[in-house]
């Protein structure tokens, strides 16, 4: 330990032991404990205690008087555990101290035991301590195990959970100790401590009280999740019949925890040979559990690579069941194409079917819950390589479309079940969102033209319906985009397929209307959608025709003046994208005088005058993209463009705008100086297009880019300084070979540059000398320790205050206040 | 209790409730959809309308060509528009004691009832209902009277001829009872019979029932009504809304525990969400105006228009429409806009609190101040000077058959730049547009109906828990166009009773109790006897005095005077008060009774159990005693002595008082 810390420790321990002393804040003790953990990991705890007797004094003091705050009590228990984790230190502390702190007559008799923090500290202390066989004996002899059992049912969830975890840890430690006894392998005899825990678990599993069953199941779930030694197989063999018996009870107790346990066992690599009984239990659970709980189990099983085929079929059946029920309830006899083609075998297990139907029709919340869960689970399953094959793409698409129609009220059904579903789901936003997400996922698969038509039809309904809520509409746009992008194209033809084209033609009038919506969320979603759409399809002739025939470009440009800043930002992005693709509104529209000055002018106006950050950030992003893509307006006079933008950006109060501005500058530099050098790249001759460096430097001085970058380097917002540093390093790297090795001080102007930098650092205004020559800039660049600055900036902002000394000093300073006050009183 | 259903229109109801000897008319709606069969009344001579070809029968017979005109395949009556009145034959309307009005849309038939049926009762309504109702009637009369039409068609109404006409004229119901519009004089006379009431005010009707208006949340001053006696409660829910718009919120709590809940005036467009429709309205309006087109909004002069103007107030700046003029044209436009601002106590809390700032509750005041909204009584006069296009015009009537809207339809119908946006849900927009076909202007249908939808109704019924629900038959099945939507109907237990026009419904509800008052001196004289812990009985001898539906028990007159000359006369006046036999209570324990019989010398006794009690057979005496829960019979053969002996033995087991 640091001698300075050692010096401060006695005072701190004394302060902690004094109940009258206030503590700085809650986090201090946590930080202190973390520090002790680091220290004990690096050096011997025993030595530490011997060198710092104040620590043992503190612990002894806790034993003698417990009138200190519960936080300090909890801290002391955890601290003792941390030290006792090392066997020699454990032996050193053993006897009165450890027994007093963790034994039967210990904290449980304290008044403070009623405070959850103290109980939690006791458990965590034990958890740290339980690392060696001596600790195991201690646990067994001190009666701690029984206390842990009782703490499993603690009213504080944190305490109860920690107790369960400690039990898992103790069981594992005990088995480990038993194994290391002779050959290092477990010899089949349960050590006493493990036997005790096993007995407790068996008893709990047979209990009629659901909370006790839940506790046992949770302990087992964690055990199988963490321990993969051979003994876990025996453990499962012993407990499996008890678990199976739980499934025979009605109602099944702790069903959720039971599912977790089965999944944990199934995932355990140590149980490969006893999976037979597990699969039986899982199959039984899939049959008996409610559709909601069975769904989670089914998904977990389907994700397993080694799940037997029969079980996979059963599990997939469980997942498909709710959708199949919906389709069946709404199908007109005979079923529409694609809706009755569930893969043979998947839905054969009819056991769950009536249960699912009952759940679906029982209440709105049950119906919504199960449908949302099923849709989310199938969505999760779809991209996995181990998903069931053949994947029933068409029936699933049919089901998603049917659900969306039910929610929209446009599905027809003659059956009473269908009518009930229709009544339950009509206008249900949650199901709509889940179904749209799922539909989006299904776009990645192949599909028939007929179904694609159905999908686009239902998406059209949603996009056009005045009843679609803004959140549903946003999802509908996202799904539409996924379907449009994945739509199969005619081979050899880059254009849109017939179906999407038809859809797009109908879409633009809808977008037009939506752009005028009084709801800003809607306007925003449309603009985002439009940006994406033109990014992907902007080059397609059909798309361009359809877009330009509509008023969408004009309306987009008008929304640059929207009262809502998010909308303005999205409008900036959309208008920028349209302009990049040559799809902007006709400029000669007399109604909009701003159109006369061109989009560039309008965006510059937003950048310099908009009161909100979002639109300004969007403008710089668009400019960066324009610069990258060589937009005509930018290419006309790039230098003027860069100089103007950087000048505006440098004044901006929003740090993100300034970072974006630096990004723009970097793109400009890369275009002028070439890509940054990669250390692993074979050196290629410099691209012919790259401008000679002295000329570039001249232009950078003219554009005041150095000014901008150096000022940003001293920015009080770290990301800005980091970005500026990156940019200047790139420049430094590129100019390394340029010019002589003149010292900075020798170059005219560079000295004043240094002075200006100093003044900026001191927070003063002012500019770099305007007539600064490239040489002076170069010298300034070289003389500044950019690498050092980058390293400093990479550190977190509190690195200065993070040292243990400062922690101890802070804590002492807080308690010191009390002392001074006392002195004043006298 | 009976309900007479005089109107078939679920949102323009007119029902009569007979309850406890009172006859109460619930609403007085006028079905104006009949006017859709008539040609529009243009304000300015329309060559197009006047040159429409006459209609002739298939065989070429053209005797109806003066009365019926054809336009784009539809046939219209060329006459002053007529309205379909509530049934007047089902019940003698002169016997109606009171009329309760729930909102201003549901009182439009009032002059027909109060002025032409011998009605002598009182009408109850809230102040805003009366004032805005008056405006609506005034507007209607004005629209019809300012374009007098010489021709009045009646030939087509002949039953034999009507059969030959094409639909929908062929299927129109009760055309012979259709009437032209009333006059302003009749309106004034009808309105003079109205007594103003406030929410939660209790109004006694003849001491028999009490009626109370409750806020229904639909329109300014709109009310539901509670009609109750001491032991019965009938709720009348008509045109209610749970949405947060301008009126005071709906009072749901007071509807709880009704015996009967009569439910009318639900939303006419259950699938359209008003919020979505307002969005649709704004978007389409903005799109049209941006393209240089005009927007026409056919509407009533009060109601949804206030909310639309408020919505536009927030929207126009953001949509860049600040320079577009908004015109509101109605003979009552000014009054409507001003009335809305003065009924603060009838408004929602938000708007009420504005009054204390002080600010006008509705933002249309600011629109008027800044000249963004201008209002005119008609298209003539100032309006023609100020008229600037593109613009947005709000004007009536939503049926497109009369009013200034006819002029704008003729003016703007030919250009596809213009748009007509239907926001009122009362008329089928396709039928409304039929006489204007072919039409180039765009038509948008955004019906905004804030009245209860079926989900809200089902929640309301769950909370209010009425014993019986009564509603128009249209609400007990899904709409014909969406027969699969089982959610678009009332779903309650027991199933709702439905009614249709001209039907009389006996409500499944029996009155069981009546409250009777007892005079203090009589109460003093009672001597209660506890027969069970907590239950005491006393016999009362009194005279029941009933007047004005109030029942009072008064002490009986003093014992009759000694017989004299006038005895006979006295006995005629007062009821015969002979001494009554004591009342008995208790039950007879059979075993103990048998033992008592044996003690008194009866032998050979047999007891048989029957379904209702026991039979004790005294075989020797050939006598039978039937003991049942509420009666005992002694059957013996002409042996009165024995009967009396047995009777006295039975009486020993019973309590007398």
| Mean per-residue pLDDT, B209-214 | 95
Rounded Cα distance between B333 and B132, Å, is 11
Q: Which contacts qualify for B479-485: CB closer than 8 Å, 24 or more apart?
A: B479/B270, B482/A409, B482/B271, B484/A411, B484/A412, B484/A413, B484/A414, B484/A418, B484/A419, B484/A422, B485/A409, B485/A419, B485/A422, B485/A423, B485/A426, B485/B271
Residue range A345-381, pLDDT digits in tens? 666 654 456 666 777 777 888 899 999 999 999 999 9
Average pLDDT, chain A: 83
Residue range B301-353, pLDDT digits in tens? 999 999 999 999 988 887 888 889 999 999 999 999 998 888 888 999 888 88
Phi-psi region of A582 (alpha: psi -120 to 50; beta: other; left: phi over 0): left
Q: Which two tokens stand for residue B61?
A: 């017979």
Question: Top-level CATH class of B274-445?
Answer: alpha beta
Q: What SS3 class is residue A182?
A: coil
Q: Which two tokens stand for residue A635?
A: 């290419």
Using DSSP, how many helices (H) and how many strands (E) does chain A show?
43, 0
Q: Which of A364, A418, A432, A466 to mutate to test binding with chain B, by most B CBs within 10 Å of its CB? A: A466
Contacts of A420 in chain B (CB under 8 A): 486
Question: From B447, which residue of chain A is nearest by alpha-carbon distance?
Answer: A466
Nearest to B323 by CA among B372, B252, B256, B363: B372
- H/E element, A530: helix A520-537
- H/E element, A438: helix A429-442
- The DSSP 8-state label assigned to residue A95 in this structure reads T
pLDDT attached to residue B355: 84
3-state helix, strand, coil in chain A (%, to 5): 75, 0, 25
- DSSP H helical ranges for B534-639: 567-573, 590-599
Contacts of B317 in chain A (CB under 8 A): 563
Inter-chain touch A466–B446, beta carbons under 8 Å: yes
| Other Cβ atoms within 10 Å of A794 Cβ, number | 11
The answer to whether B446 faces chain A, any CB pair under 8 Å, is yes
Buried b (16+ CB within 10 A) or exposed e, B475-496: bbebeeebebbbbbbbbbeeeb
Instruction: Please report the beta strands in B103-153, taking only residues with DSSP state E, as ranges in sequence order.
Output: 122-126
| Among the partner residues B276, B317, B486, nearest to A563 by beta-carbon distance | B317
Contacts of B287 in chain A (CB under 8 A): 512-513, 516, 551
Q: Which two tokens stand for residue A807?
A: 């922690």
| CATH architecture for residues B2-266+453-506 | 4-Layer Sandwich (3.60)
Q: Where are the domains of chain B?
A: 2-266+453-506, 274-445, 584-656
pLDDT at B82 over 70: yes
Contacts of A411 in chain B (CB under 8 A): 484
Nearest to A172 by CA among A127, A207, A211: A127
Those residues with Cβ within 8 angstroms of residue B114's Cβ, 6 or more apart along the chain or in another chain: B99, B123, B189, B190, B193
pLDDT attached to residue A336: 45
| Among the partner residues A409, A512, A517, nearest to B279 by beta-carbon distance | A517
Those residues with Cβ within 8 angstroms of residue A766's Cβ, 6 or more apart along the chain or in another chain: A756, A759, A760
Question: From B315, which residue of chain A is nearest by alpha-carbon distance?
Answer: A518
Angle between helices A750-761 and A705-713 (to 10 degrees): 40
Inter-chain touch B284–A514, beta carbons under 8 Å: no
pLDDT attached to residue A699: 83
Contacts of B277 in chain A (CB under 8 A): 466
Those residues with Cβ within 8 angstroms of residue A2's Cβ, 6 or more apart along the chain or in another chain: A804, A805
Q: Which contacts qualify for B206-209: CB closer than 8 Å, 24 or more apart?
A: B206/B21, B206/B22, B206/B97, B206/B548, B206/B549, B207/B548, B207/B549, B207/B550, B208/B20, B208/B21, B208/B22, B208/B549, B209/B19, B209/B20, B209/B22, B209/B24
Residue range B262-308, pLDDT digits in tens? 999 999 999 888 989 999 999 999 999 988 999 999 999 999 999 99
Interface of A with B (CB under 8 A): 409, 411-414, 416, 418-420, 422-424, 426-427, 465-468, 512-514, 516-519, 522, 551, 554-555, 558, 561-564
| CATH architecture for residues B584-656 | 2-Layer Sandwich (3.30)
Question: From B289, which residue of chain A is nearest by alpha-carbon distance?
Answer: A516
The answer to whether B389 faces chain A, any CB pair under 8 Å, is no
pLDDT attached to residue A325: 85
pLDDT at A742 over 60: no
Rounded Cα distance between B499 and B2, Å, is 12
Lowest mean per-residue pLDDT among A694-703, B102-111, B451-460: A694-703
- The DSSP 8-state label assigned to residue B402 in this structure reads S
pLDDT attached to residue B576: 55
- The DSSP 8-state label assigned to residue B91 in this structure reads S
| Mean per-residue pLDDT, B39-59 | 88
Inter-chain touch B485–A423, beta carbons under 8 Å: yes
Rounded Cα distance between A283 and A277, Å, is 10
The answer to whether B290 faces chain A, any CB pair under 8 Å, is yes
| Among the partner residues A516, A522, A562, nearest to B287 by beta-carbon distance | A516
The answer to whether B458 faces chain A, any CB pair under 8 Å, is no
Contacts of B487 in chain A (CB under 8 A): 409, 419, 422-424, 426
Q: Where are the domains of chain A?
A: 206-289
Nearest to A725 by CA among A737, A734, A713: A713
Nearest to B654 by CA among B592, B604, B602: B592
pLDDT attached to residue B629: 82
Q: What is the pTM of this model?
A: 0.79
Nearest to B309 by CA among B247, B359, B374, B354: B374
pLDDT at A339 over 70: no
pLDDT attached to residue A434: 96
ipTM value: 0.72
| Mean per-residue pLDDT, B202-216 | 93
Inter-chain touch A466–B277, beta carbons under 8 Å: yes
Contacts of A517 in chain B (CB under 8 A): 279, 282-283
Cα angle B180, B186, B188 (rounded to 5 degrees) comes to 140
Rounded Cα distance between B583 and B529, Å, is 12
Cβ pairs A/B, distance under 8 A: 79
pLDDT attached to residue A268: 85
The answer to whether B282 faces chain A, any CB pair under 8 Å, is yes
Q: What SS3 class is residue A617?
A: helix
Cα angle A421, A425, A430 (rounded to 5 degrees) comes to 145
CA dihedral A63, A64, A66, A72 (to 10 degrees): -50
Residue A820: which pLDDT band, with cuts at 50, 70 and 90?
Answer: very low
| Among the partner residues B279, B487, B491, nearest to A518 by beta-carbon distance | B279
| Mean per-residue pLDDT, A249-269 | 90
Closest Cα in chain A, distance from residue B385 (Å):
25
pLDDT at A397 over 50: yes
Q: What SS3 class is residue B307?
A: helix
| Among the partner residues B273, B314, B486, nearest to A419 by beta-carbon distance | B486
Phi/psi at B213 (5° precision) = -85, 145
Contacts of A419 in chain B (CB under 8 A): 484-487
Q: Which two tokens stand for residue B77?
A: 């009556």
| Among the partner residues B272, B278, B287, nearest to A513 by beta-carbon distance | B287
Inter-chain touch B271–A518, beta carbons under 8 Å: no
| Among the partner residues A411, A516, A563, nearest to B282 by beta-carbon distance | A516
Rounded Cα distance between A444 and A114, Å, is 57
CA distances from B62 to A469, B68, B168 (A): 55, 10, 19
The answer to whether B323 faces chain A, any CB pair under 8 Å, is no
Closest Cα in chain B, distance from residue A415 (Å):
9
pLDDT attached to residue A761: 63
Residue range A678-707, pLDDT digits in tens? 655 555 554 444 567 777 888 888 888 888
Rounded Cα distance between B100 and B262, Å, is 13
The answer to whether B492 faces chain A, any CB pair under 8 Å, is no
């Amino acid at each position: 330990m640091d001698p300075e810390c050692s010096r401060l420790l006695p005072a701190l321990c004394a302060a902690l032991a004094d109940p009258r002393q206030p503590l700085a804040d809650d986090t201090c003790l946590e930080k202190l404990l973390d520090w002790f953990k680091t220290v004990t990991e690096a050096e011997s705890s025993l030595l530490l205690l011997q060198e710092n007797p104040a620590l043992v004094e503190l612990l002894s003091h806790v034993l003698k008087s417990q009138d200190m705050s519960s936080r300090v009590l909890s801290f002391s228990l955890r601290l003792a555990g941390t030290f006792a984790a090392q066997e020699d230190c454990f032996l050193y502390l053993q006897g009165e101290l450890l027994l007093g702190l963790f034994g039967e007559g210990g904290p449980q008799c304290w008044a403070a035991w009623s405070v959850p923090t103290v109980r939690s500290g006791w458990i965590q202390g034990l958890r740290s301590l339980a690392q060696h066989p001596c600790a195991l004996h201690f646990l067994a002899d001190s009666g701690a195990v029984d206390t842990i059992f009782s703490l499993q049912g603690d009213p504080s969830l944190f305490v109860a959970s920690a107790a369960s975890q400690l039990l898992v840890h103790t069981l594992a430690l005990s088995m480990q100790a038993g194994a290391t006894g002779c050959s290092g392998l477990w010899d089949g005899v349960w050590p006493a401590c493990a036997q005790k825990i096993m007995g407790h678990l068996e008893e709990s599993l047979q209990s009629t009280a659901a909370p006790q069953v839940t506790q046992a199941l949770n302990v087992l779930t964690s055990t199988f999740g963490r321990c993969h030694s051979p003994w876990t197989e025996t453990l499962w063999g012993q407990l499996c019949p008890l678990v199976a018996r739980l499934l025979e009870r009605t109602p099944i107790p702790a069903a959720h925890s039971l599912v977790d346990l089965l999944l944990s066992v199934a995932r355990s690599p140590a149980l490969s040979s006893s999976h037979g009984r597990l699969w039986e239990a899982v199959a039984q659970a899939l049959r008996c559990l409610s559709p909601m709980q069975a769904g989670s189990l089914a998904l977990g099983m389907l994700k397993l690579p080694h799940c037997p085929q029969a079980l996979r079929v059963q599990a997939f059946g469980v997942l498909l069941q709710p959708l199949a029920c919906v389709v069946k309830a709404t199908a007109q006899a005979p079923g529409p194409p694609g809706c009755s083609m569930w893969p043979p075998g998947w839905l054969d297990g009819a056991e769950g079917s009536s249960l699912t139907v009952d759940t679906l029709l029982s209440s709105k919340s049950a119906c919504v819950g199960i449908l949302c869960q099923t849709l989310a689970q199938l969505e999760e399953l779809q991209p996995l390589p181990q998903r069931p094959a053949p994947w029933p793409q068409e029936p699933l698409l049919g089901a998603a479309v049917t659900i969306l129609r039910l929610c929209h009220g446009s599905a027809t059904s003659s059956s009473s079940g269908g009518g009930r579903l229709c009544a339950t789901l009509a206008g249900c936003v949650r199901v709509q969102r889940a179904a749209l997400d799922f539909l989006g996922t299904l776009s990645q698969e192949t599909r028939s033209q007929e179904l694609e038509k159905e999908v686009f039809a239902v998406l059209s309904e949603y996009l056009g319906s005045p009843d679609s809520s803004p959140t549903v509409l946003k999802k509908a746009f996202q799904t539409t985009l996924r379907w449009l992008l994945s739509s199969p194209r005619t081979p050899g033809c880059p254009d849109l397929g017939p179906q999407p084209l038809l859809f797009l033609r109908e879409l633009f009038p809808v977008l037009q209307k939506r752009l005028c919506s009084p709801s800003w969320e809607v306007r925003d979603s449309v603009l985002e959608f439009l940006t994406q759409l033109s990014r992907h399809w902007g080059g397609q002739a059909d798309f361009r025709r359809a877009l330009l025939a509509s008023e969408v470009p004009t309306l987009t440009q008008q929304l640059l003046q929207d009262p809502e800043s998010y909308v303005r930002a999205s409008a900036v992005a959309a208008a920028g994208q349209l302009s990049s693709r040559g799809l902007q509104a006709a400029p000669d529209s007399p109604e909009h005088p701003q159109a006369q000055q061109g989009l560039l002018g309008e965006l510059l106006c937003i950048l310099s005058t908009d009161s909100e950050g979002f639109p300004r950030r969007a403008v710089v992003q668009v400019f960066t993209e324009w610069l990258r893509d060589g937009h005509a307006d930018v290419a006309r006079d790039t230098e003027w463009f860069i100089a103007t933008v950087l000048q505006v950006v440098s004044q901006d109060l929003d740090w993100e705008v300034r970072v974006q501005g630096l990004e723009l500058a970097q793109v400009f530099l890369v275009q002028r100086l070439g890509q940054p050098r990669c250390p692993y790249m074979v050196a290629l001759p410099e691209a012919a297009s790259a401008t000679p460096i002295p000329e570039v430097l001249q232009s950078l001085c003219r554009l005041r880019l150095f000014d901008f970058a150096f000022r940003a380097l001293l920015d009080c917002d770290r990301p800005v300084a980091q970005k500026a540093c990156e940019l200047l390093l790139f420049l430094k790297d590129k100019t390394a070979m340029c010019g002589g090795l003149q010292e900075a001080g020798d170059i005219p102007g560079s000295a004043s540059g240094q002075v200006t930098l100093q003044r900026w650092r001191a927070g003063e205004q002012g500019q770099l000398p305007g007539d600064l020559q490239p040489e002076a800039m170069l010298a300034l660049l070289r003389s500044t320790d950019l690498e050092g600055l980058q390293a400093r900036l990479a550190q977190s902002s509190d690195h200065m205050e993070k040292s243990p000394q400062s922690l101890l000093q802070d804590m002492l300073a807080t308690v010191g206040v009390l002392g001074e006050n006392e002195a004043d009183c006298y | 209790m009976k309900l007479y259903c005089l109107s078939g229109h679920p949102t323009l109801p007119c029902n009569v409730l007979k309850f406890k000897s009172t006859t109460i008319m619930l609403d007085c709606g006028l079905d104006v959809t009949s006017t859709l069969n008539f040609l529009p009344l243009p304000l300015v001579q329309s060559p197009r309308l006047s040159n429409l070809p006459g209609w002739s029968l298939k065989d070429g017979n053209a005797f109806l060509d003066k009365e019926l005109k054809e336009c784009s395949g539809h046939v219209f009556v060329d006459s002053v528009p007529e309205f379909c009145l509530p049934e007047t034959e089902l019940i003698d309307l002169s016997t109606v004691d009171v009329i309760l009005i729930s909102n201003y849309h549901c009182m439009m038939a009032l002059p027909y009832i109060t002025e032409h049926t011998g009605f002598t009762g009182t009408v109850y309504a809230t102040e805003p209902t009366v004032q805005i109702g008056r405006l609506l009637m005034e507007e209607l009369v004005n629209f019809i009277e300012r374009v007098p039409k010489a021709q009045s068609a009646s030939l087509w109404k002949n039953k034999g001829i009507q059969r030959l006409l094409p639909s929908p004229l062929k299927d129109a119901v009760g055309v012979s009872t259709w009437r032209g519009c009333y006059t302003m004089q009749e309106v004034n006379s009808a309105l003079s019979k109205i007594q103003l009431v406030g929410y939660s005010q209790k109004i006694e009707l003849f001491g028999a029932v009490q009626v109370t208006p409750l806020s229904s949340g639909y329109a300014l001053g709109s009310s539901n009504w509670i009609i109750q006696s001491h032991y019965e409660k009938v709720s009348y829910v008509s045109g209610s809304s749970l949405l947060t718009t301008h009126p005071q919120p709906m009072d749901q709590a007071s509807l709880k525990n009704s015996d009967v809940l009569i439910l009318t005036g639900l939303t006419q467009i259950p699938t359209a969400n008003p919020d979505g429709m307002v969005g649709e309205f704004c978007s389409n309006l903005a799109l049209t105006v941006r393209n240089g087109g005009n927007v026409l909004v056919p509407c009533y002069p009060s109601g949804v228009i206030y909310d639309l103007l408020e919505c536009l107030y927030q929207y126009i700046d953001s949509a860049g429409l600040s320079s577009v003029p908004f015109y509101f044209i109605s003979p009552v436009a000014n009054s409507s806009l001003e009335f809305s601002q003065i009924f603060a106590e009838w408004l929602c809390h938000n708007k009420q609190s504005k009054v204390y700032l002080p600010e006008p509750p509705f933002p249309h005041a600011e629109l008027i101040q800044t000249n963004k909204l201008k209002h005119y009584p008609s298209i003539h006069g100032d309006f023609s000077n100020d008229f600037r296009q593109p613009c947005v015009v709000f004007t009536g009537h939503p049926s497109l058959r009369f009013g200034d809207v006819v002029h704008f339809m003729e003016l703007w119908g030919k250009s596809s730049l213009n748009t007509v946006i239907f926001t009122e849900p009362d008329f089928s927009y396709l039928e409304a547009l039929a006489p204007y076909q072919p039409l180039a202007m765009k038509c948008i249908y955004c019906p905004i109906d804030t009245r209860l939808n079926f989900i809200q109704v089902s929640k309301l019924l769950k909370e209010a828990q009425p014993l019986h629900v009564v509603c128009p038959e249209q609400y007990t099945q899904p709409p014909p166009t969406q027969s699969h939507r089982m959610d678009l109907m009332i779903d309650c237990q027991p199933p709702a009773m439905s009614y249709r026009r001209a039907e009389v419904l006996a409500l499944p509800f029996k009155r069981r109790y009546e409250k009777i008052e007892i005079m203090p001196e009589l109460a003093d004289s009672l001597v209660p006897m506890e027969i069970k812990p907590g239950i005491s009985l006393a016999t009362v001898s009194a005279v029941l005095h009933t007047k004005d539906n109030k029942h009072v028990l008064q002490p009986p007159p003093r014992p009759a005077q000694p017989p004299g000359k006038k005895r006979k006369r006295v006995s005629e006046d007062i009821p015969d008060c002979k001494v009554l036999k004591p009342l008995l209570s208790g039950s007879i324990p059979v075993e103990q009774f048998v033992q008592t019989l044996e003690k008194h010398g009866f032998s050979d006794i047999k007891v048989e159990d029957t379904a209702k009690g026991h039979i004790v057979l005294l075989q020797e005496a050939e006598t039978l005693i039937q003991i049942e829960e509420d009666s005992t019979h002694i059957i013996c053969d002409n042996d009165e002595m024995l009967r009396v002996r047995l009777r006295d033995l039975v009486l020993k087991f019973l309590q007398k008082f």
